[in-house]
Structure 1
Amino acid sequence: MTAAASTITTKGRVVALCGGVGGAKLAFGLARILGDRLTVVVNTGDDFEHLGLHISPDLDTVLYTLSGLANRELGWGRGDESWNFMSVLEDLGAETWFRLGDRDLALHVERTRQLRAGVPLTGIIAAFAKRFGIEAEILPMSDEKVSTTVVTPEGALPFQRYFVERRCAPVVREIRFDGADKAQPTAQVRAALGDPGLEAVVICPSNPFLSIDPILAVPGMRRLLQDAGAPVVAVSPIIGGKAVKGPTGKIMAELGLAATNMAIGDHYRGLVSGLVIDSGDAAERGAIDGPTHATATLMSTDDDRERLAREALGFALRLAAAKAAAT
C-alpha cells in the first residue's frame, strides 16, 4: 500500500458505478472503508424475466457480495447453495440454461411479488440490503426497464441469451440499450450524485460496454456525473492487454478496439477525471489522455479489494486537491 493510499481521510460520501462480479469486488472494498457513506449505482440492463420471475443479476451479485453471502467458488449466486429446483425443472424438460439455486430463488420470487404489487425496484433493493445487514446504499440505475441487446450476425440477442446461454460466442456487431430513452435516474440516484458532501465517484472495473454503458445510457446520467462537483475516477478492467474476467477483450476486438488502457480511457473521455491502471501497465501512461494512477488492480482477496479501493479513493482526493489548488 502506498503512503498516499494509506493516509486517505475520506469524510464525505462516495458513489460507485458497478456491474456484476468484477465491479462488486471493488464495491466490497469501498464498503469496508466507507460503510454507510457509500452509494453503489448498479446496472439493470441485464435484468430480464425468466420462468415468470424478475431476475436482477448484477443487483443480486452486489447484494450477495457486500453481505458476505456470495458463492465465491462460482463467482455468482449465493454460497451454501442447493439445486433441487433446477433438478426438477430438468426432469420436467424445462429451460435450465440460466441456473437458479434454491436459496437464490427466494429473492427472485419475493422481488417479483413486490414488483407486481407496485413497489419500485429501488425500494425493494433497499429493503433487501437492510435485511442483509448492508450499510452501503445500493441503487438500481433506474426503476424503468432498460434491456441490453447484443446485435450479432445471427440477429439481435437479449443479453442473457448472449452471455449465459451462448457463453458470449456470437460476434458482437452492436450493443443496444432498449428502453433507455424512456428511462430516467431515480430521485435517489439524483440525490446521491447531487449531494454537496460527495467527494468522489468511482467507476468500478466492470465491463465498460455491457455493465457501465447501460448506466450512462439513462438520459441525464452523464450530466449528473459531470455536474457532481467531485472527481470521477475509473478503474480499468484491462491488465496486460487482457480482461481479468468476462468478454471485455473479445468484445473490444469485435468492435475494432485494441484491448488497452488507452482504449478504456478514450471510451470514458469527457466523463472521467482520471484512470487507475495496473502497475504492470505503467508504461502505457504516456499514451493515455489525462491523469493516471498505476497500482496493482487484480483483486484475489478481500484485502486486495480494500487496498485497491483505498488507492482509487486516494487518487480521487489528490485530483480534487490539485483542482482546488489551481483555482
Structure 2
Amino acid sequence: MTAGAKNMAEKGRVVALCGGVGGAKLAFGLARILGDRLTVVVNTGDDFEHLGLHISPDLDTVLYTLSGLANRELGWGRGDESWNFMSVLEDIGAETWFRLGDRDLALHVERTRQLRAGVPLTQIIGSFANSFGIRAEILPMSDGKVRTTVMTPEGMLPFQRYFVERRCAPMVREIAFDGAGKAEPTAQVRAALRDPHLQAIIICPSNPFLSIDPILAVPGMRQLIEDAGVPVVAVSPIIGGKAVKGPTDKIMAELGVAATNRAIADHYRGLISGLVIDAGDAGERGALDGPTHVTATLMSSDDDRERLARETLGFAEKLAAALRAVEAVST
C-alpha cells in the first residue's frame, strides 16, 4: 500500500459515486482498504417498477458485489442463483425480459413491502447492507423518485426497457432524469459529503451519462461535492477508445462525443481534480489539461480491484498534499 493510500485508510473517510457493475468493482476494492471509512453513493435513476415490485439494479449490484455474493460471470445478480420463478412466469406467458432470480427476488419483495409501509429507501438499503455483513456505508443518491429515460428515434424509453429489453440497440438522442428536479440529497448523503474527516471523493468508472449524471442531477449534489474541499478523482471507464463494460462508447458516439479520456475529463470539467486512465492510453496524457494518473484500470480479479483502489487513493492523497502546499504558501 502506498503511503498516501495508507494515510487515507487509517485516518480519513472517502465517498465514492457509483453505478452498477464497473463502478461496483472499484467500490469493492475501496471497501477492502477502507472498511467502514467508505461511503458509496449509488445511482437510483435505474430503479423501476416491475411485476409490482420496486427494483433497484445498481444498489443491488453494489450490495451483492461488496458482500461477495455477486455472480462473477454475469456481473449482476447473485452467484448462487436459481430461476424457478422466471420459468413459471414464462409458462404462464408473463413478461420475462427482466430476469429476477429466486434468491434475488427476496430483496425486491422486502424492499417493496417496506417502501409501501413508508420506510425510506436509505434505511432499507442500510438494513440490507448490515445483513450482508458490509462494513461500508451504502447510500441511495436520494430517497426521491428519479427515473432515467432515453430519447430514441422510437420515442422516449424507460431506461430498463432501453438497456435490458432492447439491449441498448436504439440510437440515443438524449438522456433525461425525470423527477430529478424534485429530488434532494438525503441527510445521510449530506453528512457524508460534509464530514470533517472526508479526504477524497472518488467517481468510479461507471457510465458518466447513465450512472453518474443522475447522481449529479439531484439538486444540491454537485454543490456539496464542490464545497467538500477535498480532491475529486474520476477513474475513466474508457480503455483504448472502448468501454470495458456496457454501452458507454456507443452512447458517446451517438451523442457526438469521442470515446476518449479527454472527453471524460471534459464531461467532468469543473468538478474533478484529477483523472485516472489506463496505461494503454498513456499517449493521451498530453491532451489532458489536469493532473492524470496512469495505471492498469482493467479489473479482472479482486487483487486488480484492490490495486486500482489503492492507486486511486494514493493519487488523491498526492493531489491533497499539493493543495495543502499551495494553501501554506498563500498564508
Fold-level similarity (TM above 0.5): yes
Report the equivalent of 1:156.
156
- Counterpart of 1:184 in 2: which secondary structure? coil
Aligned residue identity for 1:229: G
Matched, 1:301 2:279: no
Amino acid at match of 1:257: V
User: 1:90-239 to 2 correspondence within 5 Å?
Assistant: 90-239=90-239
CA contact (8 A) 2:4 2:318 kept: no
Distance 1:79 1:142 in 2: 28
In structure 2, what is the Cα distance between the partners aligned to 1:4 and 1:193?
Answer: 24
Report the secondary structure of 1:123's partner residue: helix
Q: Is the 8 A contact 1:266 1:289 kept in 2?
A: no
* DSSP 3-state at the match of 1:314: helix
Q: Which residue of 2 aligns with 1:257?
A: 257
Tell me, in whole angstroms, the C-alpha distance in 2 between the residues paired with 1:291 and 1:127.
Answer: 39
1:231 to 1:180, Cα distance in 2 relative to 1, 3 A: same
Which residue identity lines up with residue 179 of structure 1 in the other structure?
G
Letter in 2 for 1:288: L
Residue 68 of structure 1 aligns with which residue? 68
The alignment's C-alpha RMSD in Å is 1.0
Verify: 1:241 aligned to 2:228, yes or no: no
Residue of structure 2 in register with 1:84 after alignment: 84
Q: Which residue pairs with 1:37 in the alignment?
A: 37
What is the SS of the residue equivalent to 1:200?
Answer: strand
Distance 1:88 1:5 in 2: 53
Q: Residue 49 of structure 1 contacts residue 55 of structure 1 at CA under 8 Å; is this kept in 2?
A: yes
Per mean C-alpha deviation after superposition, the further-off stretch among 8-17 and 32-41 is 8-17
Give the CA deviation at 1:280.
1.1
Offset from partner CA, 1:275-320 (integer Å, 9 cap, x none): 0000111111111121110000000000000000001000000000
1:58 aligns with 2:61: no
TM-score if structure 1 supplies the norm length?
0.98
Instruction: Specify the alignment match of 1:27 in structure 2.
Output: 27
Q: In structure 1, the residue corresponding to 2:77 is in which secondary structure?
A: coil
Shift of 1:324: 0.6
Give the aligned residue type for 1:155: G
**4 and 238 in structure 1: CA distance in 2 versus 1, 3 angstrom threshold:** farther
User: Tell me, what secondary structure is at the counterpart of 2:290?
Assistant: coil
**1:320 pairs with 2:320:** yes
Contact 1:275-1:292 at 8 Å conserved across structures = yes
Bigger shift: residues 67-76 or 205-214: 67-76
Alpha carbons 2:5, 2:313 under 8 Å: kept: no
User: Which letter maps to 2:65?
Assistant: T
Structure 1 letter corresponding to 2:28:
F
Q: For 2:165 and 2:5, how far apart are their aligned partners in 1?
A: 43
Q: Which runs of 5+ in 2 are unaligned?
A: none
SS in 1 for 2:91: helix
TM-score with structure 2 length normalisation?
0.97
Gaps (5+ residues) in structure 1? Answer: none
The code of the aligned residue for 2:321 comes to A
Q: Which amino acid aligns with 1:205?
A: P
- 2:44 is paired with a residue of what secondary structure? coil
The residue number in structure 2 matching 1:289 is 289
Opposite residue 141 of structure 2, the aligned amino acid is M
Distance 1:179 1:272 in 2: 26
Work out the CA distance in 2 between the residues paired with 1:274 and 1:75. Answer: 28
CA deviation profile, 1:118-138 (whole Å, cap 9, x unmatched):
000000000000000000000
Letter in structure 2 aligned against 1:234:
A
Letter in structure 2 aligned against 1:316? A
2:201, 2:230 within 8 Å by CA — same for their partners in 1? yes
Gap change, CA 1:9 and 1:185, over 3 Å in 2: closer
Deviation (angstroms), 1:142: 0.1
CA 1:271–1:62: 2 relative to 1, 3 Å: same
Measure, in 2, the Cα distance between the counterparts of 1:324 and 1:76.
40
Amino acid at match of 1:294: V
Alpha-carbon distance, 1:167 to partner: 0.1
DSSP-derived class of the 1:75 partner: coil
Amino acid in the other structure paired with 2:132: F
Alignment of 1:256-275 (within 5 A): 256-275=256-275
CA shift for structure 1 position 79 = 1.0
Q: Deviations 1:133-154 (Å, cap 9, x if unpaired)?
A: 0000000000000000000011
Q: Which runs of 4+ in 1 moved over 3 A?
A: 3-10
